[in-house]
């Protein structure tokens, strides 16, 4: 049954005031995610058949910026997209930094509850494995401020279990790969099939590359990242990954962009950044809304620019591009 997102926004902010209500919401998200993982045979990635995907909205980093999230949901008619059976992919980084981290996680759990497999929550580096902590990671402190140490510990424990269940990648067959940071770089050097590239199991090198990497205009395949985790990957890696997967574009988040989006590698990598304000103060935030079944060529640059939606309502154009 369709549910109005604006009602969920109100509900989520109510729920977020009460520790037990938050626990409830997150525990039911955990159950759904466990079920999801089972139903895709424990694969760390989701596959979407574009023929069965009329509409798809994609969000980059949110980091607790609920106001921009609401604005972008309205601008993309997310409500209508979901109630008509369309998909939404969130590219990760829901918590840390922003003012409404708890509300964001609760809201996403509600949206997931209503729309099930059509809502894909990817893992970002701020939904970290214990062995790869990001900085800042203030989410546990925000929980403690609001709910006290004991409840905060309990809620954070469930959150960590949630993070472990989140898929790392989504493949929109024949069109695009969606990840938080980058593709599995090391594996792309020897993987021959999509299955070999994406079935990373518990491979920590791949997980780190997916969560932390950034594209860079370098000649070499890759170089170490100044972030201290992940890699900077060059166009050679991008082209190899596109070849193995038989797709046209990598869509990722992770990097602040002044206008909410940018392109690398001759338009073959699109970055989306969907929050505004502290600590980046970027001019604009952006998302993507495409029609994979109707227009499978959306991912051929520069056509994709027409499908970018900004928080300001400003139409994206060539002069906001950064190569």
Q: Which residues bind Mn ion (CB under 5 A)?
A: 93, 124-125, 254
Our CB check for Mn ion shows the closer of 93 and 284 to be 93
CB of 128: closest distance to Mn ion in angstroms? 10
Walk across the sheet containing 56-59 and list its strands. 119-121, 87-90, 56-59, 286-290, 308-310
CB of 153 to Mn ion, least distance (A): 24
Choice between 25 and 229, CB closer to Mn ion: 229
Residue nearest to Mn ion (CB): 254
Cα–Cα distances in Å, from 113 out to 31, 107, 157, 169, 263?
Answer: 10, 10, 20, 20, 33
Taking the CA atoms of the chain, what radius of gyration do you get in angstroms?
Answer: 18
The least CB distance from residue 161 to Mn ion, in Å, is: 20
Smallest distance, Mn ion to C-beta of residue 282, A: 14
Report helix, strand or coil for 172. strand
Shortest CB 190 distance to Mn ion, Å:
27
Neighbouring CB atoms inside 10 A of 157's CB total: 12
Q: How far apart are CA 92 and CA 187, in angstroms?
A: 22
Which of residues 131 and 190 has its CB atom nearest to Mn ion in the complex? 131
Nearest CB to Mn ion, comparing residues 188 and 225: 225
Give 168's contacts (C-beta < 8 A, 6+ positions apart): 44, 45, 122, 123, 179, 180, 200, 207, 210, 211
The answer to whether 217 and 130 have CB atoms below 8 angstroms apart is no
Residue 126 is a catalytic residue? yes
Query: Which residue of the set 126, 180, 254, 265 is catalytic?
Result: 126
| Length reported for the chain | 323
CB of 137 or CB of 291, closer to Mn ion: 137
- Of 124 and 316, which CB lies nearer to Mn ion in the complex structure? 124
CA distance 316 to 308: 7
Find the shortest distance in angstroms from Cβ 183 to Mn ion.
Answer: 15
**Token pair 């969000």: residue:** 59
Among 248, 249, 213, 218, smallest CA distance to 234 is for 218
> Is there a contact between 122 and 90 (Cβ–Cβ < 8 Å)?
yes
Give the residue numbers annotated as catalytic, written as ranges.
Answer: 126
């Amino acid at each position: 049954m369709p549910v109005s997102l604006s009602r969920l926004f109100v509900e989520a902010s109510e729920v977020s005031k009460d520790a037990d209500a938050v626990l409830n919401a997150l525990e039911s998200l955990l159950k759904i995610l466990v079920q999801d993982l089972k139903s895709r045979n424990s694969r760390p990635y989701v596959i979407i058949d574009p023929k069965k995907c009329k509409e798809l909205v994609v969000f980059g980093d949110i980091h607790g910026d609920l106001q921009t999230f609401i604005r972008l949901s309205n601008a993309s008619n997310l409500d209508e997209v979901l109630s008509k059976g369309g998909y939404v992919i969130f590219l990760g980084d829901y918590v840390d930094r922003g003012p409404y981290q708890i509300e964001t996680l609760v809201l996403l759990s509600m949206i997931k509850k209503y729309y099930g497999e059509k809502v894909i929550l990817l893992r970002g580096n701020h939904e970290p494995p214990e062995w790869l902590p990001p900085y800042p990671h203030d989410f546990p402190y925000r929980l403690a401020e609001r709910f006290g140490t004991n409840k905060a510990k309990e809620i954070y424990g469930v959150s960590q279990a949630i993070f472990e269940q989140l898929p790392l990648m989504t493949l929109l067959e024949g069109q695009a790969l969606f990840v938080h940071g980058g593709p599995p770089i090391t594996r792309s050097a020897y993987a021959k099939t999509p299955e070999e590239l994406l079935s990373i199991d518990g491979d920590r090198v791949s997980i780190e590359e997916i969560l932390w990497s950034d594209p860079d205009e370098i000649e070499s395949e890759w170089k170490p990242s100044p972030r201290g985790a992940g890699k900077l990957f060059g166009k050679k890696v991008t082209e190899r990954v596109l070849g193995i997967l038989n797709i046209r574009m990598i869509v990722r988040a992770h990097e602040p962009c002044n206008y909410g989006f940018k392109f690398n590698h001759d338009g073959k990598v699109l970055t989306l950044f969907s929050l505004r304000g502290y600590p980046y103060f970027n001019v604009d935030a952006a998302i993507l809304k495409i029609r994979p079944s109707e227009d499978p060529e959306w991912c051929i640059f520069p056509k994709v620019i027409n499908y970018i939606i900004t928080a300001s309502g400003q139409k994206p154009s060539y002069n906001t591009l950064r190569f």
